[in-house]
Chain A
Amino acid sequence: MDMTVQQLADLNVSALESAKEEWARISSSLEGYGDRVDIHMRRTVGNWTGDAAVKAHSRMERLRNNFQFGAQECALVRAAIDAFIEEIQGSQRKMQDVLDVAKRTGFLVTPMGELVDPAGAEPPGGEDPEAARKRDERREELQRFIFAVLGQAVETDAKYGQILSQLMAERGLKVDGLESQRDANIISKVAAPGLRLDSVPEKGTDPANVRDWWKGMSEEERQEQLALHPDLIGNLDGIPARTRDKANRVNLDRLIDMYPEPVPDDVEERHEGFKKIRNRLIMDAEEEPEPLLLGIGPEGQGRAILSYGDPDTADNVAAYVPGLNTQLGDVGGDDGDRARDVWKSAQKADGGGHKTASIVWLGYDAPQAFSDSDAGTDASVAEEERGRRGGRDFGRFLDGIQATHQGERPHVTAIGHSYGSFTLGQAAQREGGIPADDIILVGSPGTGAQRAEDLGVSPDHVWAGAADSDAVTHAPSDAEKIFGIWGHMTDPHELHFGQDPASEDFGGRRFAVNPGWNPSSHSDYFDRNSESLRNMGKIVSGRPGEVTTEERR
């Protein structure tokens, strides 16, 4: 389609700005409707079973997905309009500049962009022919520029017309998260460069730099980043918790929709894990503490980081690293409960006087063992590399907690259970340590450190919970495995991954736990109403003087 110079100059951008805002409002409303379906419809019949229930659940899920899809699509339309405004305004500015030059030079412009030189009609001889030639060259040059700008504007118009038409849904809307992902990719490819939104920091970037990058954008730009790149924004340390949660709920839907039922065997466990996490988010929505999904991803065995309470505004933050045989579904199950129970215990210890956030961090591949005899000795457990890599990422996650926190620095407690205590130990032994005030190691086979002070916090703030009946807290060292009792005698407190954190030689503090029975005592540290959970709550809430202790080994 041809465009005239006047049409480009007259294009009313303020009308487009209004349209853009309206799309944003619709997006927000649809998102709210989706949440209402989850909270007020799906959750209330969560325990309903039978044929009718299956059909009803399926319809409600479809309704919710359609609202969610609508919200994402409207956000994409908004981003596309914004990018169009940005590009077309660029063309308008260029056109205005060249028209100003033409006017000053004395040229007239036709509606189609041709330049006419009124002086050119004068009979020759009155002017220097060389000057006339140069003037004509200048006219041609400016005219070429005008044509180029007009061409660019026409191209912009066509480009956005095309991508917006691709966002059209068919009648009888039945969509999934993947469709919105495809649409986001289309819009992102076209719109992100125009909006300068194609420079998301890479995963692994220093969280303080990520925070500064995020803060450096306008609210509008942040919303557009969220619409175009939820997969990157949701899992980036240094992005505020609520933004990560919003992005990750979109990511979670897309991960579930990636495989239609029945899913292939090799991804079934992850798929079920993602579904369990989504169910938890629905069941716990609008309750105190609120669940925030700080991370979700398909890497390795799957990744999930779930917080109860907002770590950006909490006075006390606990981050728990689970251990051996933890799978994605556990974040939607027992490990999610553990995080919530730590939250409750901290609130109880504190009398509800301060805000708490309690996180379960499964940002690594926890080792998987398959038989009782494997536990504590299997090569996969012994494999230190998972813990090292996990420790590096957990450390960066804690840096992110500090980077995005509002107000005074929070009191942070890092908790590691079982192999998770080794992972935590690896994080704590990095150069500069981790930004934690207290470290709790429960059911630990060692941290890789010989002394509490190696973990970067005062030994008085390194806490071990170890039931004597918990076999993992006696996991034999390599010397003991090879030389038996003689190996044991060399250093009776040397465990599989270094010195026993509950030992006197280690130099930390040992808090009281219920004695329990082998083998369940290894997991009873998080048992509701247990001495151990009570003590963890006191540590997390910054009340170390009230912790009950036990003699060190």
Chain B
Amino acid sequence: MGVGEAVKKIDTALDDTFAAVSPPLKWRKGPAGMSQHRNLLNEENGEVTVSRDCYVRTKVSKSKIAALAEDVEKHWKAKGYELESRNRKMPSFRYSTPEGVSVVFDVGGDLVTISASISDTKSPGRSGDIDKGDFPHGLKDIAPDVRDPYWSK
């Protein structure tokens, strides 16, 4: 699979996840990027992981975090995604889609992120960002900044 196709796949998984959340959240796409896979000699093996983080702009109150996590998890299960791992200390979990996309729901401070990645992608011979997402000048101001009558209450 080429990088372009991988980006489409992870974006589909992310868009689909956000579309399933009600009431809808405000969110921004972070840059799509690549990490090279290397062998024991630190040589590129011709594959990259393609990934993207999405940063939720809506302020989700502590009392609503669990509800949001539940909505997302319910949707992923309904889509036939499989649970890969779960953080028992906080609402954070990883699922994999039948297409091999790894999707993660995570919380850091007040920030909710949903990320997706796909690992067996043909390397274009470099690593780093593929696009800038909704951050033309880098990852400035990722903290949530939009209040919502339901999620922020």
Contact = CB atoms under 8 A, between A and B. Distances in A.
Interface of A: 284, 286-289, 323-326, 330, 333-334, 337, 341, 344, 347-353, 369-372, 374-376, 418, 471-472, 512, 519-520, 522-524, 526-531, 534, 537-538, 541, 543, 545-546, 548
B108 A351 contact: yes
A520 B137 contact: no
Given A289-B139, A344-B139, A548 B39 contact: no
Contacts of B141: 352
A347 to B, nearest CB: 6
Nearest to A526: B35
Interface residues of B, number: 48
Given A529-B51, A529-B116, A546-B90, A287 B41 contact: no
Contacts of A349: 108-109
Interface string B128-145: 100000010111111110
Nearest to B139: A288
A287 B116 contact: no
Contacts of A548: 85, 87, 89
A546 B87 CA distance: 8
Contacts of B41: 324-325, 369-372, 374-375
6 contacts: A287-B137, A334-B36, A348-B142, A512-B85, A519-B40, A529-B104
Interface stretch (B18-26, B42-50, B71-79): B42-50
Given A337-B128, A348-B113, A528-B49, A288 B138 contact: yes
Q: Tell me what chain B mostly uses at the interface: helix, strand, loop, or mixed.
A: strand
A527 B119 contact: yes
Given A325-B42, A369-B41, A527 B49 contact: yes
A519 B94 CA distance: 23
Contact of B37 (A286, A369, A523): A523
B3 to A, nearest CB: 13
Given A528-B117, A529-B102, A522 B111 contact: no
Contacts of B40: 324, 372, 375-376, 471-472, 519, 522
B110 interface: yes
For A325, A370, A545, the residue with the greatest tally of chain B CB atoms inside 10 Å of its CB is: A325
